[in-house]
Amino acid sequence: MPSPIDLAELPFLREALFELVLLAITGGVLGAWVVLRRLAFFSHAAGSATFPGLVVADASGVSPIVAGLAVALGYAGGVERTGGSGREHGEGTALFLVAALATGVILASDVFESGAAVDRLLFGTLLGLGTGDLVLSAVVALVATAAAVALGRTWSAVGFDPEGAEALGLPTRRADLLLLGLVAVAAVAAIPAVGALLVTAVYVLPAAAARMLTGSIRGLIACALVLALAEGVAGLYLAYWLDLPPGPPVAVLGAAVCLVAAALPRRTA
């Protein structure tokens, strides 16, 4: 069994640890709104929908982050257009996810030759996290925190009572678009570390568990942040120990914590 101190001492693990701490901040702050606004499916799909962008980026030499951001933001805009303000976006999410995955598969199998880089981006990697990845995650964490502080009560008003929010004269569609866009960008930021297919592990599972353990929005955000941090660090250690990509152990830990939280007496109605 390796020493946990390696996480702080080995440079590549230190970078991965720093990355997961940044993602945990976003996971706590933004994840709370993902769960409250019932965007878990969208959050998962936003990561997966970047697949065609990652394939094209791999084949053309374009930065996968740039390609992923372009696809994810387009995805968020498309989903928002198909949904009503303040309402759930399930159908639009499914529609665009299927289209994106199918396009990605065609591109990967018939147009380009999908390389190992795409596999790494789908499942994450401890190696090769660059400064650009860390900077993007830091910017996303900062923007997500600022947005949650500034727009929290508007997102809250729309989620609590969509019709009432419209009657208040709030720009509900713009507020929704901002939230969806932020979630999409955050999903792309998480791809290098946990992979496109396991973005949910950072942005949904900790907040979903926290939702079952807390009764206020502030409590939910704080609890989600702590859980995302703990699961990220523990998952990274397991990945290092078992020689796995970090995404799967973080996801398994997140799911286990959710199951434990679900088994505990509920505090929320």
Partner 1 sequence: MTAIEVEGLAAAYDGAPVLTEVSFEAAPGQSVCVLGPNGGGKTTLFRVLLGELEPVAGRLEVSGRPAYVAQTERTRLDFPVTALDVAVMGTLTHGRWWLPASRSDRAAARAALDRVGLADQAGIRFGELSGGQRQRALLARALVQDAQVLLLDEPLSGVDPASATLISGVFQELRAEGRTLLVASHDVESARTFDLVLCLNGRQVAFGRPDAVLDRATLEATYGHELIVLEGGRGAVTVQHHEHGHED
Contacting residues toward partner 1, per CB under 8 A: 36, 149-154, 156-157, 159-161, 163-171, 175, 214-217, 219-220, 268-269
Minimum distance from residue 50 beta carbon to partner 1 (Å): 28
Question: Encoding tokens for residue 172?
Answer: 């509900």
Minimum distance from residue 137 beta carbon to partner 1 (Å): 24
Burial of 252: CB neighbours in 10 Å, binned 0-12, 13-18, 19+:
middle
Sequence-separated (6 or more) residues with CB below 8 Å from residue 72: 46, 47, 49, 50, 53, 184, 185, 187, 188
Minimum distance from residue 255 beta carbon to partner 1 (Å): 22
Minimum distance from residue 146 beta carbon to partner 1 (Å): 11
Tally the residues of the chain.
Answer: 269
Minimum distance from residue 153 beta carbon to partner 1 (Å): 6
Q: Which is nearer to partner 1, 13 or 261 (CB)?
A: 261
Question: Which is nearest to 233 in space by CA: 13, 10, 11, 68?
Answer: 13
Question: Encoding tokens for residue 97?
Answer: 């996810």
CB-based contact 84:159 (threshold 8 Å):
no
d(CA 168, CA 172): 10
Q: How many CA atoms lie within 13 A of 47 on its CB side?
A: 28
Q: Which is nearer to partner 1, 82 or 252 (CB)?
A: 82
d(CA 188, CA 70): 10
Minimum distance from residue 148 beta carbon to partner 1 (Å): 10
CB-based contact 32:207 (threshold 8 Å):
yes
Q: Which is nearer to partner 1, 79 or 175 (CB)?
A: 175
Q: Which is nearer to partner 1, 77 or 219 (CB)?
A: 219
Q: Which is nearer to partner 1, 47 or 162 (CB)?
A: 162
Q: Which is nearer to partner 1, 63 or 216 (CB)?
A: 216
